[in-house]
Amino acid sequence: MAATFAGAQGAAAPAQLHVNVAHNVSSVSPTLYGLMTEEINHSYEGGLYGEMVQNRSFHADWEGEPPWDLVRHGDAVATRSLDSSTGPSTALSFSMKLAVSSASPGNEAGLTNPGFWGYGVKPGTTYSGSLYARVDDAGIGPITVRMVNNATGETAAEAQVNLLAGPWQRYAYKLVTSRTVKPSIANHLEFTVSHAGTVWLQSVSLMQPTFHNRPNGNRIDLMERMAAMHPAFLRLPGGNYLEGARQKDWYDWKKTIGPLIDRPGHPSPWFYWSTDGFGLLEFLEWCEDLKVEPVLAVYAGFSLDGSHVATGKDMEPYVQSALDEIEYVTGNISTKWGAERARDGHPAPFPLHYIEIGNEDYLDHSGSYTARFAQFAEAIRRRYPQYKLISTDGNSEYATRVNADVSDEHYYKSPSDMMDLAHHYDAAPRNGPKIFVGEWATRSGSPTPNFGDALGDAAWMTSMERNSDLIVMASYAPLLTNVSPGGMEWPTDLIGFDAGTTYGSPSYWAQCLFAAHLGEHTVESSVAGVGPRFFYSATVSAQAKVLHLKLVNASTVKQPLALRLEGVQGAHIARITSLHAATMEATNSLSDPLAIHPVESVATIAGSAWEHTVPALTIEVVDIRY
């Protein structure tokens, strides 16, 4: 397998790059590039999940029920308090009590919610709302729901909810903006009444339009961003979110399915509450909408506080939960959990090939993972022998010690360290488990990668492509971050967004390009005379007869190349898509989302020889039909 760079930086003579398109070296994994997310940086709550109301179920902490507040217009008099004695379900057995002593038209009282750092209002748009309410006397109603501009007080959309006296009931409403409304995120939501009385509220929701119009679905622009990455899989429910900060906070998937009102929610490990409106079925439907397969991770008894469940009898409930979860995903409707999935609205099973046991268990210094993995693996293989099992105790200097089909390895590096890692797998043994690089990122920019990070990522991706006979899957992490003040816990993140818009980082564009231009085989190649920060990969799509050449110049000087393309005859067109920046620190942002973006060009190749120069600080993807 050829080295990726040699020689001295900035050589005056062109470096020699030889590619033989007729000589396949190894197969490229068809699942090489995929997605990994978890509930971090408000990726779901306040991000991908279409819910716009923050803390819709009035979860309480030491501050009360943030960010809800009381609104009293004019001389209205009212109080609010959390009532633990009444709620619409066993899971949500509490509610917000609004007691209005005095109110009238123009002097309304009620509750206000700022959303997740605002509400993304767009012209000519319908927002679907619902709430659960209980009143003893309907005379307090109706509830008026308004989307209000923070600066001007103008109402962008309004609806009324007529209440019925009696037990808890669910009410639906629509907010429709006019075509003249200006796009804005500086808005809040108000729920007010104009008469005295008492009303109890729970599960107060407003959903924005969703991808494929899926009920309880996902935000359109973020789904479109992910679709453009051409992913093959989604690792779910994602790293630390699976484990929980403590054992009692593990991802108990059975509490995340069924009607929303029956989902109690749980604390995410990143310091905020998850309503679990985005539950297991929503994960699977996300896969379906993107036409990718799930890589299902099951909780294996280890949590972030370092504690673990003892193997044997103590572990049995968690093993059974994993078996039930696999049945929910893949079972037909004649099975217990397949029938449950059908009752949840999805009779057809989902495809599945890989099951991951735990997450980052190389951090379990007690050494318990070997026995924990064995207990899960024995049960899963006995019942589901067709699936490949992924272990999580192997990472770089740590060798997996269990009988796994695939080892999940994670890498978070600086740009220079990621470039130095580009040969990590070149001489790795091929007689052990395959590799899943389940989390990786070059990290120096914040909140999203700068161009130096993109160069490190691209260098690393050339390595994964070159070694994709060993590396069967890879997924960048974290994928998403809400860039509003207070929205991010962990930099560096691939895609940034706020309540209204999104942008792709330079690394995002690099991933889109690499995944969209990937062949089925690596081919024989060699290079000589390039600088120490030049990287490349060469794959071919045999049926289409296209060479996909990735060229990464992470140096501050241009790199001239003399390419010899063996197997390429006659005149050809090279279609070049490039990413370039003047500095390593250059980046994209909400205010300048396309500062760095793909630029397309073409070049003519007269025959098998081609003189080509890769500019400094440039990533190029070159497609040559042969």
Residues 151-196 have pLDDT tens digits of 999 999 999 999 999 999 999 999 999 999 999 999 999 999 999 9
- As a whole number of angstroms, the distance between CA 407 and CA 435 comes to 5
**Mean pLDDT value across residues 486-506:** 98
- As a whole number of angstroms, the distance between CA 206 and CA 187 comes to 13
CB 407 within 8 A of CB 436: yes
Residues 265-275 have pLDDT tens digits of 999 999 999 99
**Residue-level pLDDT at 1:** 35
The answer to whether residue 93 scores a pLDDT higher than 70 is yes
**CB atoms inside a 10 Å sphere around CB 84:** 10
The answer to whether residue 501 scores a pLDDT higher than 60 is yes
Q: What average pLDDT is seen over the chain?
A: 95
Neighbouring residues of 342: CB distance < 8 A, sequence distance ≥ 6: 333
Neighbouring residues of 196: CB distance < 8 A, sequence distance ≥ 6: 100, 101, 102, 103, 140
**Residue-level pLDDT at 204:** 98
- Integer-rounded Cα Rg, in Å, for the chain is 27
DSSP code for 164: -
Residues 193-207 have pLDDT tens digits of 999 999 999 999 999
**Residue-level pLDDT at 11:** 44
The answer to whether residue 519 scores a pLDDT higher than 80 is yes
**Residue-level pLDDT at 13:** 80
**Residue-level pLDDT at 399:** 61
Residue type, 440: W
302 pairs with which residues across the strands? 308
Give the SS3 label for residue 369.
helix
**CB atoms inside a 10 Å sphere around CB 204:** 23
Residues 2-45 have pLDDT tens digits of 334 333 344 458 999 999 999 999 999 999 999 999 999 999 99
pLDDT grade, residue 569 (50/70/90)? confident
Residues 399-411 have pLDDT tens digits of 678 999 999 999 9
- As a whole number of angstroms, the distance between CA 241 and CA 393 comes to 17
Residue type, 120: G
pLDDT grade, residue 581 (50/70/90)? very high
**Mean pLDDT value across residues 292-300:** 98
Alpha-carbon separation of residue 456 from 35, 79, 275, 480 (angstroms): 18, 55, 36, 19
pLDDT grade, residue 488 (50/70/90)? very high
**Residue-level pLDDT at 398:** 52
CB 5 within 8 A of CB 530: yes
CB 610 within 8 A of CB 565: yes
434 pairs with which residues across the strands? 406
pTM over 0.85: yes
CB 384 within 8 A of CB 351: no
Residues 374-395 have pLDDT tens digits of 999 999 999 999 999 999 998 7
**Residue-level pLDDT at 426:** 93
Alpha-carbon separation of residue 457 from 193, 451, 464, 585 (angstroms): 54, 10, 10, 14
- As a whole number of angstroms, the distance between CA 66 and CA 59 comes to 8
Alpha-carbon separation of residue 413 from 66, 420, 427, 440, 441 (angstroms): 36, 10, 20, 8, 7
Assign residue 202 a region: left if phi > 0, alpha if psi is -120 to 50, beta otherwise?
beta
CATH superfamily of the domain spanning 69-207: Galactose-binding domain-like (2.60.120.260)
Share of the chain above pLDDT 90, in %: 94
Of 66, 199, 59, 70, nearest to 140 by C-alpha is: 199
Share of the chain above pLDDT 70, in %: 97
Residues 428-481 have pLDDT tens digits of 988 889 999 999 999 999 999 999 999 999 999 999 999 999 999 999 999 999
**Residue-level pLDDT at 387:** 98
- As a whole number of angstroms, the distance between CA 280 and CA 344 comes to 11
Judged on CB neighbours under 10 Å (0-12, 13-18, 19+), 9 is: middle
The answer to whether residue 95 scores a pLDDT higher than 50 is yes
**Residue-level pLDDT at 401:** 80
- As a whole number of angstroms, the distance between CA 205 and CA 368 comes to 43
The answer to whether residue 424 scores a pLDDT higher than 50 is yes
For residue 4, is the peptide bond before it cis, meaning its omega torsion is within 30 degrees of 0? no
**Residue-level pLDDT at 394:** 81
Q: Where are the beta strands (DSSP E) in 387-458?
A: 388-391, 406-413, 434-442
Backbone angles phi, psi at 31, to 5 degrees: -110, 25
